[in-house]
């Protein structure tokens, strides 16, 4: 039985364009489609949550002491309500878990809703943490993918600070996530130790940032790496590169070269992969479990009605023959192209190839009010980089939310993130 869709305008028998996932890619695709949606189509957004998690702020949530801000306030500073982002009556939001796909009948299966037909489908489910089958890594490390992960991480560190005068925290993976996290945690842990252990005169929390590659921030320009390394040195972070982890126990990390390092906490940011459900869909996936797409962002299947974008898409750069990096600007660009190609398919126009940009803008926050920002035309670092970060976040809020709600959400986020500076 195929589910009948009930929109804000009532029951409809229109053809469905379904987007699964309300992250950066999914919301961007929705916003581009809704402005040009043909009258015979309806747009359905499916996500397991009622909100979008603003993931760039997760490390900040994890580094705000319990006594400073209530968890409900933290939630309101990082959860964007999906209903607030839907500004058109032609869009229907379904809160449900995606559990199956049948390309032959052009239908998806949802845990509670049941079978839902689609004419076109965009998969934007994001990614999951990859542990690379390293013995003990999953069991003896903390990850940071959800709000609950952030709260658990904060509580774990605070609990240990109450028990131990000296704490060793390692961060595995020196990409942007690991670099930002370790820098933010230096201030948080030392501040908490001073409050919880006033007898300790000098901060005795020691951080190590571990990277298997020859240098930190793989894929970033040399000037960014140099600035980041200088900043981490100023913060007292020990950086270990060319150090591949081969096993982890409750108390130590073992490296490929035989070296063993003691640890109290290991935070793992060293890898992501496509959602596990992709193994059950019968679609072609990459070694990183993401969906292989062509130059038009079609998932490989007979009727070319399925598109994949963002972290769950294995998209090759035709110029470099390397996978496109999984980041927010790339996901947003892919979302726009997927939306355009659905509309062009409907109207019988030639499809548009996805051509990755030579370079994507980014902001890398490295502790307190210091950030490195490369906006392609302009470069900033230090306090000016931090200001650029706040303005970029405001720009996104204004894109997805009504003006008043965008300003309120943005100001709350700034207030919460500054509480630990």
DSSP characters for 138-168?
A: TTT-B--SSHHHHHHHHHHHHHHHHH-SSEE
**In contact, 52 and 22? CB cutoff 8 Å:** yes
Torsion of CA 334, 339, 343, 349, to 10 degrees: -10
Query: Residue 421: its pLDDT value, please?
Result: 63
The CA distance from 31 to 26, in Å, is 9
**In contact, 308 and 301? CB cutoff 8 Å:** no
Evaluated on CA atoms 386, 391, 396, 401, the torsion sign reads positive
**CB neighbours of 291 closer than 8 A, spacing ≥ 6?**
123, 274, 278, 283, 284, 285, 299, 308, 312, 313, 314
Kind plus residue range of the DSSP H or E element containing 83: helix 82-85
Angle formed at CA 317 by CA 316 and CA 321, multiple of 5 degrees: 80
pTM: 0.92
The residue to which tokens 């927010």 are assigned: 328
pLDDT tens, residue order, the chain (421 aa):
445 554 444 445 799 999 999 999 999 999 999 989 999 999 999 999 999 999 999 999 999 988 878 888 899 999 999 999 997 888 999 999 999 999 999 999 999 999 999 999 999 999 999 999 999 999 999 999 999 999 999 999 999 999 998 999 999 999 999 999 999 999 889 988 988 888 888 899 999 999 999 999 998 999 999 999 999 999 999 999 999 999 999 999 999 999 999 999 999 999 999 999 999 999 999 999 999 999 999 998 767 899 999 999 999 888 888 888 889 999 999 999 999 999 999 999 999 999 998 888 999 999 989 999 999 889 999 999 999 999 999 999 999 999 999 999 999 998 887 766 6
Neighbouring C-alpha atoms within 13 Å toward the C-beta of 268: 21
Kind plus residue range of the DSSP H or E element containing 51: strand 51-53
**CB neighbours of 133 closer than 8 A, spacing ≥ 6?**
none
Report the candidate in 37, 42, 31, 7 with the shortest Cα–Cα distance to residue 84.
Answer: 31
List the domains of the chain with CATH numbers.
5-48+96-129+273-347 (3.50.50.60), 147-268 (3.50.50.60), 362-418 (no CATH)
Task: Collapse the DSSP code of 189 into the 3-class scheme (helix H, G, I; strand E, B; otherwise coil) and give the result.
Answer: helix
Kind plus residue range of the DSSP H or E element containing 93: strand 91-95
Which tens digits make up the pLDDT trace of 227-239?
A: 999 999 999 999 9
Query: Residue 419: its pLDDT value, please?
Result: 65
């Amino acid at each position: 039985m195929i589910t009948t869709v009930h929109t804000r305008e009532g029951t409809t028998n229109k053809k469905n364009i379904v987007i699964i996932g309300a992250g950066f890619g999914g919301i961007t695709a929705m916003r581009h489609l809704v402005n040009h949606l043909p009258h015979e189509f309806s747009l359905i957004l499916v996500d397991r949550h009622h909100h979008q998690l603003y993931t760039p702020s997760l490390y900040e949530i994890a580094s705000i002491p319990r006594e400073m801000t209530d968890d409900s306030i933290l939630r309101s500073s990082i959860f964007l309500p999906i209903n607030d982002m839907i500004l058109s009556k032609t869009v229907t939001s379904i809160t449900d878990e995606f559990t199956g796909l049948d390309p032959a009948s052009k239908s998806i299966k949802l845990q509670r809703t049941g079978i839902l037909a689609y004419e076109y489908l965009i998969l934007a489910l994001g990614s999951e943490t990859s542990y690379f089958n390293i013995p003990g890594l999953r069991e003896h490390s903390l990850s940071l993918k959800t709000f609950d992960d952030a709260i658990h991480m904060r509580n774990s560190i605070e609990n240990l600070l109450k028990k131990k005068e000296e704490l060793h925290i390692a961060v595995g993976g020196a990409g942007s996530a690991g670099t930002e996290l370790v820098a933010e945690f230096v201030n948080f842990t030392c501040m908490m130790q001073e409050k919880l252990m006033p007898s300790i005169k000098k901060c005795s929390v020691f951080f190590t940032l571990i990277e298997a590659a020859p240098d930190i921030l793989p894929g970033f320009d040399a000037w960014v790496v140099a600035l980041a390394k200088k900043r981490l040195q100023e913060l007292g972070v020990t950086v270990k590169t060319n150090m591949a982890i081969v096993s982890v126990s409750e108390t130590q990390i073992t490296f490929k070269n035989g070296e063993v390092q003691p640890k109290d906490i290991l935070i793992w940011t060293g890898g992501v992969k496509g959602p596990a459900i992709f193994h059950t869909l019968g679609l072609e996936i990459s070694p990183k479990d993401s969906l292989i797409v062509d130059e038009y962002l079609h998932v490989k299947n007979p009727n070319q009605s399925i598109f994949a974008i963002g972290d769950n898409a294995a998209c090759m750069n035709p110029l470099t023959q390397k996978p496109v990096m999984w980041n927010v600007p790339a996901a947003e660009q892919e979302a726009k192209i997927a939306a355009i190609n659905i509309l062009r398919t409907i109207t019988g126009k030639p499809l548009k190839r996805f051509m990755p940009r030579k370079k994507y803008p980014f902001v890398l926050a490295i502790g307190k009010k210091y950030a490195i920002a490369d906006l392609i035309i302009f470069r900033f670092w230090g306090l000016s980089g931090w200001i650029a970060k706040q303005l970029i976040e405001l720009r996104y809020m204004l894109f997805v939310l009504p003006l008043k709600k965008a300003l309120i959400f943005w100001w709350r986020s700034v207030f919460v993130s500054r509480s630990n500076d």
